[in-house]
């Protein structure tokens, strides 16, 4: 059975992974843009400062006159460079460029263009080129800064951010799993109620559940009540049917006992035989129809008390025969089912054993996970061929066995309704017939 928690947690993990992935990408791009814009702003200020100190002498040569000059532009290959172009000709370069040149993009007057380029040392440069006009000539000033150190700091920042994001992701997953588990708590209550219902502790599921589940719970409770009502109605109808059939059968029996009928060489025995068959069949089918099957609501039945009471009744019924019925029932053995089914089941098995026993009947119950009930007698038992025919599927017990018919047939129907298995053989202790009934665990 699939769990509700697994798909919810899986969906949560996927959604959080997507959210954190998108957030990480957005933050990375945003921070990178902010850093570049900040550096580009500084480079643009340097370009404006350079232009403010730029002058053209009468020979049309350019010169710089600055009161304050950034020493990085003077140190060779320092990572800070500038290049001034008059029209399209390079007029001046910073001493830090040595003999190298910058790749200067085309810009118009009053425009600015920012690109990334490779520097003299192979480093990544951010180049800001600004267009000016001086004495009728077009001036382009390109200022570049090395991004290597900034990139290293940016990578360290993103690494810390990634670690924090992963920790937050794990904490959110744990928190959401706890929230999902808390939300599913009412369903676990329903599951516990189902277990208590199977054990017979309650007869209805509790309705203190979320509104989404309440219609299902109410429908289950309605079906439980309907099944109980139908079982009661069926048993009442069977009782009425048995009472209605009793009078006609009595009349027919009295007619069969009439001297004129009994003396008839053919009609008398046939009527008596058919009446006996009819009475047995009706009794058998009524008993089969009364089987509730499955687990019943209510307190589990104490097998020791129920079986011992049944044994006392059988002792009274067979008081003219002197034989002993021994009970070996492990303490604490319980039957989670209908009481009438239990009495019908054990009664038929014990009655069958009492019919064929010579002096002793043994009934034993063991429980180790499952429940095993065994009834043995010291009678003649059943031949191996008969036991083989009993074990065949599809063969009616009351048609296949040698005298062990109707009672075992009814017991087999009840056992099947509870998912139990009947095993037939010879008693190892008493030497007669043995019937073993094994109920599934739980």
Number of CB atoms found within 10 A of residue 231's CB = 17
Q: Are 25 and 107 within one domain?
A: yes
Distance in angstroms (rounded) separating the CA atoms of residues 301 and 342: 9
pTM beyond 0.85: no
Q: Does residue 242 sit in the same domain as residue 314?
A: no
- Domain identity same for 260 and 346: no
Check pLDDT > 80 for residue 189.
no
**pLDDT (tens digit per residue) in 298-315:** 567 888 888 888 888 888
Domain count, the chain: 3
* Model pLDDT for residues 245-275, shown as the tens digit of each residue: 766 777 777 777 777 666 777 666 777 777 7
Residue 236 parent element (H or E): helix 214-256
Q: How confident is the model at residue 160 (pLDDT cuts 50, 70, 90)?
A: very high
414 and 341 housed in the same domain:
yes
CATH of the domain at 40: 3.30.450
Tokens of 213: 């589940």
Residue 23 domain flag: yes
Residue 440 DSSP class: P
Is residue 179 domain-resident? no
Q: Whole-angstrom Cα distance, residue 427 to residue 407?
A: 18
Residue 66 sits in the same domain as residue 130:
yes
Compute the radius of gyration of the chain from its Cα atoms. Answer: 49
CATH number, domain with residue 322: 3.30.565.10
Q: Name the least confident of 33-37, 59-63, 222-226, 320-324.
A: 59-63
Structural domain contains residue 174: no
Give residue 291's pLDDT: 54
Distance of alpha carbon 410 from alpha carbon 356, whole angstroms? 17
Closest residue by Cα to residue 381 from 431, 336, 433, 345: 433
What digits encode the pLDDT tens for the residues 88-131? 788 888 888 888 888 888 888 888 998 888 888 888 889 999 99
Query: Which residue segment(s) compose the domain that 401 sits in?
Result: 298-439
User: Strands 360-368 and 54-56, how do they pair?
Assistant: unpaired
pLDDT tens digit sequence for 315-356: 888 778 777 888 998 888 888 877 888 888 888 888 888 888
Q: How confident is the model at residue 399 (pLDDT cuts 50, 70, 90)?
A: very low
- DSSP 8-state secondary structure symbol assigned to residue 300: P
Mean pLDDT (the chain) is 80
Say whether both 325 and 430 belong to one domain: yes
Mean pLDDT of 14-36: 89
**Are 276 and 307 found together in one domain?**
no
């Amino acid at each position: 059975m699939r769990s509700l928690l697994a798909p919810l947690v899986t969906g949560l993990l996927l959604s959080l992974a997507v959210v954190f992935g998108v957030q990480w990408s957005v933050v990375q791009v945003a921070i990178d843009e902010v850093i570049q814009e900040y550096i580009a702003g500084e480079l643009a200020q340097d370009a404006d400062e350079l232009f403010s100190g730029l002058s053209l002498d009468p020979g049309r040569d350019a010169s710089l006159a600055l009161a304050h000059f950034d020493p990085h532009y003077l140190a060779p290959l320092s990572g800070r460079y500038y290049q001034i172009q008059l029209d399209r000709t390079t007029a001046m370069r910073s001493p830090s460029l040595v003999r190298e040149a910058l790749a200067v993009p085309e810009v118009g007057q009053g425009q600015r263009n920012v690109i990334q380029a490779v520097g003299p040392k192979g480093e990544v440069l951010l180049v800001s080129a600004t267009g000016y006009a001086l004495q009728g000539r077009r001036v382009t000033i390109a200022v570049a800064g090395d991004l290597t150190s900034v990139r290293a700091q940016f990578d360290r920042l993103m690494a810390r951010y990634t670690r924090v994001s992963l920790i937050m992701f794990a904490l959110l997953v744990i928190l959401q799993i706890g929230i999902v588990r808390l939300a599913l708590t009412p369903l676990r209550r329903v599951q516990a109620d189902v277990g208590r219902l199977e054990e017979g502790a309650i007869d209805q599921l509790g309705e203190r559940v979320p509104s989404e589940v309440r219609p299902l719970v109410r429908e289950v409770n309605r079906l439980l009540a309907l099944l109980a009502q139908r079982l009661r109605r069926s048993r009442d109808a069977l009782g009425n049917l048995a009472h209605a059939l009793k009078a006609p059968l009595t009349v027919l029996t009295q007619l069969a006992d009439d001297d004129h009928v009994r003396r008839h060489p053919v009609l008398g025995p046939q009527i008596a035989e058919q009446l006996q068959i009819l009475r047995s069949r009706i009794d058998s089918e009524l008993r089969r129809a009364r089987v509730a099957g499955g687990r019943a609501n209510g307190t589990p039945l104490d097998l020791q008390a129920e079986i011992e009471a049944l044994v006392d009744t059988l002792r009274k019924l067979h008081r003219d025969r002197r034989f002993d019925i021994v009970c070996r029932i492990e303490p604490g053995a319980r039957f989670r089912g209908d009481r009438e089914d239990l009495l019908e089941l054990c009664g038929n098995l014990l009655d069958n054993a009492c019919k064929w026993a010579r002096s002793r009947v043994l009934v034993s119950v063991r429980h180790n996970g499952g429940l095993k009930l065994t009834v043995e007698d010291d009678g003649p038992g059943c031949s191996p061929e008969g036991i083989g025919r009993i074990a065949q599927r599809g063969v009616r017990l009351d048609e296949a066995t040698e005298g062990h018919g109707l009672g075992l047939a009814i017991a087999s129907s009840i056992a099947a309704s509870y998912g139990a298995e009947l095993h037939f053989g010879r008693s190892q202790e008493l030497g007669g017939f043995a019937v073993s009934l094994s109920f599934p665990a739980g």
